[in-house]
Amino acid sequence: MRSAWIRTAGMALLFLSAAAGAMAQNEARKPAGKTRNVVLIVADGLRWEEIFTGADASLLNSKYGGVWDKPDDLRKDFWREDAAERRAALFPFLWGTVAKQGQIFGNQNKGSVGKVTNGMAFSYPGYNEMLTGFPDPKINSNEFGKNPNMTVFEWLNKSPEFHGQAAVFATWSTFKDIFNQQRSQLAIQAGWDEPYRGAVTPREEMLNQLYRETIKLDSDDVYVSFLQPPLLDFVKARHPRVLFVGYGETDNWAHSGRYDLVLRSAHEFDAYVQQLWETMQAMPEYRDQTTFLITTDHGRGSGLVEWKDHGEKQKGSENIWIAVLGPDTKALGERTRTSPVTQAQIAATLAALLGKNYHNDVPAAAPPIEDVLTKHAAAAAQQP
């Protein structure tokens, strides 16, 4: 009788222990904050100077800015005497919504510094740094080939929770190598690859036709306006939880010496980010549970000539900016007199917003930017 009672009590204790373990496991699976989805958006080569001070008066001309637009039209659209008004004219969503409801780093005039740490200040090394959390000196060319390093997107895609829920949309075809599509098996739409496959609607076929038949200014970089429709279609149909969006025209037009088109593509970038935000906020899968991380892969030189290029020889190319908007990021606006933030911190920040400790699995990765995280998210980022 006594032994039967002991067995029964033992079974009850085991049951209670298992139930408590299951409850603890379920608690651990809960997100650290309200963020359930993260979108990382990059405007290639978009300088911090334009972000924080707007159009540069010295480049609003044909001699130094390569302007083809009527200068009066360009000034009417983007020039204001006050820097705060200039930047708001160029980036109305960034300054009207993101900076008011979130945070933005990188205004060196106000003691907020954003830097790349790879020492090269051009695209592939920059994207590797932001997506893996560390610079890799072996990656020293945009033609490097398949990335040997696992990105935070691939890392998340390996987990049961995010498997099949991570996707990449970008204008530059090289992202297929940066994300190592063959190994990572991520859904990637990049470059001039036709976006719609299989049975397509007349609208989708028209867009495919534009991809096939449009004269290409750059054979590796599709126009941003061509990328946006399939991006929005994908979001509406597939509801990815982790999304990368890479817009490349700001860099292309700068290299071409067309400051008028730098400004117009920067303004278009802002509008497309707003369109994506409003599209997602209108959907129950994303509303009030999505964070946008918005940044650039490198800075550029300054002055009348070096604004066109970037790299080790162009001083200032290491300077970047980072903006964050989401339900778990305090509305501290434009940050001033902050500790420096780095490009390498973006990977762990993205993971931490989802309640994941990326640094635990990738010790070489830089820690997250704690200022943009709730206390719970910051604590979760420290858990194994």
Q: Which of 79, 84, 77 is nearest to 58 (CA)?
A: 79
Token pair listed for 181: 């599509």
C-alpha to C-alpha distance for 310 and 299, rounded to whole angstroms: 7
Q: Is 244 helix (H, G, I), strand (E, B) or coil?
A: strand
pLDDT for 26 beyond 90: no
Give per-residue pLDDT as tens, 325-365: 999 999 999 999 989 999 999 999 999 999 999 999 999 99
Please check whether residue 123 is in contact with residue 297, taking contact to mean a CB–CB distance below 8 angstroms: yes
With 70 as the cut, is the pLDDT of residue 138 above it? yes
Six-digit token string for 224: 């941003």
Q: Would you say residue 226 has pLDDT above 60?
A: yes
| pLDDT classification of 366: cutoffs 50, 70, 90 | very high
Q: What pTM was estimated for this model as a whole? A: 0.91
pLDDT in tens, 52-105: 999 999 999 999 999 998 888 999 999 999 999 999 999 999 999 999 999 999
Q: Which residue has tokens 């990572």?
A: 184
pLDDT at position 71, please? 80
Q: Are strands 322-325 and 187-190 parallel, antiparallel or unpaired?
A: unpaired
